[in-house]
Amino acid sequence: MGSHAAPDIDAILGQLTLEEKISLLAGKNFWETVDIPEKGVPSVKVSDGPNGARGATFKNGPTAACFPASCLLASTWDLDAAREIGNALAEETQSKGARALLAPTVCPHRHPLGGRNFESFSEDPLLAGKMAAQYINGLQEKGVAATIKHFAANEQETCRFTVNAHIAERALREIYLKPFEIAIKEANPMAVMTSYNILNGDHADSSTYLLKDVLRGQWGWNGLVMSDWGGTNSTAGSLEAGLDLEMPGPTKWRTAEAVTEAIKTGKVSEETINARARNVLEFMAKLRCFEDPSIPEERSINKPEHQKLIRSVGSQGLVLLKNEGAILPLRKEKLAKKKVALLGFAKQGLVHGGGSASVNAHYRVTAEEGLRAALGDDIEFEYAQGAHTFRQLPLMDKMVIDRDGQPGWTLDLFLNEDASGEPASSQHSDVPTYMPLFVKEAWGSLRATTQFTPTQSGHHYLGMSGLGRSQILINGEIVYEQKGNCPDSMAFLLGGVKEPEITWEFEAGKTYTVEVTTLKPSKSGGVALLDGYIGFRAGFMTEEEHNRDLLSEAVEVAKRSDLAIVFTGHTPDWETEGQDQISFNLPSNGSQDRLVAAVSSVNNDTIVVNCTGVAIDMPWLDSVKAVVQAWFPGQEAGNAIADVLTGAVNPSGRLPVSFPRRLEDAPAHGNFPGEYIDGQLNVTYEEGIFVGYRHYDRSEEHRSQVLFPFGYGLSYTTFAHADPKVSLSEDGQGIKATINVTNTGSCAGADVVQVYAGAKLASSENPIKELVGFSKVWLEPNESKPVSVNFSTRQLAHFSEKTEKWELEEGVYEVSLGRSVQDIIGKLAVSVGAQSYKL
């Protein structure tokens, strides 16, 4: 970041009154901190999120570059790629007037149904921590603060504001805190964001164990701790535990009155207030806010170098899972004059997941566009959708007239909470939604009305959801009532709420009065982020459209084609922050599985390209020729996919998670998302340290439960491995593993050497082996290179809850070099001495 004159934080603190110091400890608004211009204190702006800098607007704001999701980035096993993505994200963050990015997300993938897994890297803490460290380095070397999140144990979205996660300390240390520890010690992020959940009885934002003992104590980290948005749960508790900044603003918990009262009663000390304010000011100083306090206007800068990087990393992270008969790559000369069926999501770019990872992408290249550009005009493409996959009905914005005779709806807003009497305000809306994120007036209720005249008769479908209790009425008759709050405000905001579908018999040409009433949410649970606001949406679909037989159309297209490519996956409303997946099967209601099965039954050359951030069930796997796991590749999705399918890029992605055969085979099955005790969701991490491959590796029976193992991925070339060696450093603190890798195939490609280690005499208390290092090597045909991986003997230690130290037992350890956790190409033994490591 270069040299600059550091502001005198002591002098600034000395000028501030107690009330001014308190004001710094919560946001000014949704994205900015409080400034005190008369005392020379600037504001700093932050921005979401992990795969793009969105800026201040959740929907339809200035466009931004959409980068590959972190699950794809982890699939590259390429630390340089993570750093380059960090560099580019820093430039994007600055283009949105922000100096801190709310990323990366590093919580391990505990269960395949985790709604936010795609935002994070891996089931393995080492892979997640190493990738996150380089991502952070990339951001911060360009002058933008990283905000590592969510600290800690945010492995599910169900009841995320209130769930109590019960985790033994060994599992915490070895799995759930480890990626944070690696990234914090190797990259020193400027900020840490606390999670919403409760951990072992304490909200994360008020956890002395997490913030004081571990983060600032044992790890020696010194930076800014901020809450997740709406994730502060106390005044005195959070201040004393070490939460510097409550977000967003204006404050809910840290008013001058509340904090001064806490000081008077001895619950908070003035020293604590000074320490919290100092951290906020030092954060601003690191970001040079004192030198240049301006917050520039948001801009959309579509950089060619970012486009190129997104395409390159996107294609690198695709994982080839199956390639029977070498059906891939698709060569232009072989396909000339042939017909190719493009089915499913071919025309819809699945570029990102839902929630704070959503961005208004500069553009999105669909798979159809990518393949047409790659294969040219000599090939005849035919498209069919093939499956209904909507989660919410389209907005009811056609054939509707508001109170003034204009197309749309009339929204009446009331101060009271029963939508009675004269409205305090009325407004027109083209669509039946009210998304109140930035509205300052806290209305009590809302009534939306329209006159609807259908053009078709039939039992048409209606859908409706609200932040608080809501009703939908037709001609004054209640046809559906939502009796409680929406379970999650972010899910509501970003379209991830599954709305019940109601049918009503309409007659063409007849006019109906449609009315929605919605109330301010009650205080009980679910809507922390939008507490006090109202919001709703209403959807509609004709009977003909809803019940259209898309599958038969796709089968007919597949029948008359030489090759069928089915694009499956999760749209952002199916895989999103705010809620966990509802099924291990692709949505909706098995429609995509039926599509693949039906197409493969009439076309022997069927390829599946799947865009999800998680493992899915593949009941059709044996009946298709090839499968590519494409994750969420960002705005260049179609080009990245086409690059791999056509062989312009040799796939080199390796799975950062295990794909179980059945959901029941997942190690957390039965303990996810938990059980309700006295009205509160509690989840116990019964599997302990045996997460992902650590569980499956325990026995041959467990290994057989894996469809595709951790670290697995195919290539269009072949690799040979020879001369594995392992050596212990002179001081006994380091181990070096080496192996020679040769590209024995006919095209250039990359191999990932994975190094695992564990005690030769395995104990049932410990994993058989764990990832200790990895290296990606690029090779031309017939080229050979030696690959070395260095790791510390401390990585062989396990956390002891008895001694509260990391304990390395003396003995012989087996170092395994592999192509995946199950495909081991060399085993070597090394003897190490016993050692204890302080925290």
The half-sphere exposure of 350 on its side-chain side, counting CA atoms within 13 A, is 27
Sheet of 563-569: strand order equals: 319-323, 626-629, 606-611, 563-569, 339-344, 380-384
- CB neighbour burial string for 807-823, b if at least 16 within 10 angstroms, e if fewer: ebbeeebbbbbbbbbbe
Has 593 been annotated as catalytic?
Answer: no
Q: Strands 409-414 and 445-452: what pairing?
A: antiparallel
Q: Is there a contact between 703 and 822 (Cβ–Cβ < 8 Å)?
A: yes
Q: Are 77 and 375 in contact (CB under 8 A)?
A: no
Query: What is the Cα–Cα distance from 215 to 192, expressed in whole angstroms?
Result: 9
Alpha carbon distance 91, 142 (integer Å) = 8
DSSP for 802-815, written as a single string: TTTEEEE--EEEEE
Tokens 């997740």, residue located: 228
The two tokens of residue 745 are: 């195939």
Closest CA to 529 of 435, 417, 412, 662: 435
Question: How many C-beta neighbours within 10 Å does residue 833 have?
Answer: 11
Contact 385, 344 (CB under 8 A): yes
Residues 6+ apart with CB under 8 A from 793: 728, 732, 733, 734, 735, 808, 832, 835
d(CA 449, CA 376): 50
Q: How far apart are CA 490 and CA 526, in angstroms?
A: 9
Instruction: Extract the tokens encoding 487.
Output: 């379970």
Among residues 78, 124, 205, 228, which one is catalytic? 228
What's the CA gap between 789 and 321, in Å, rounded? Answer: 26
Catalytic positions, written as ranges = 228
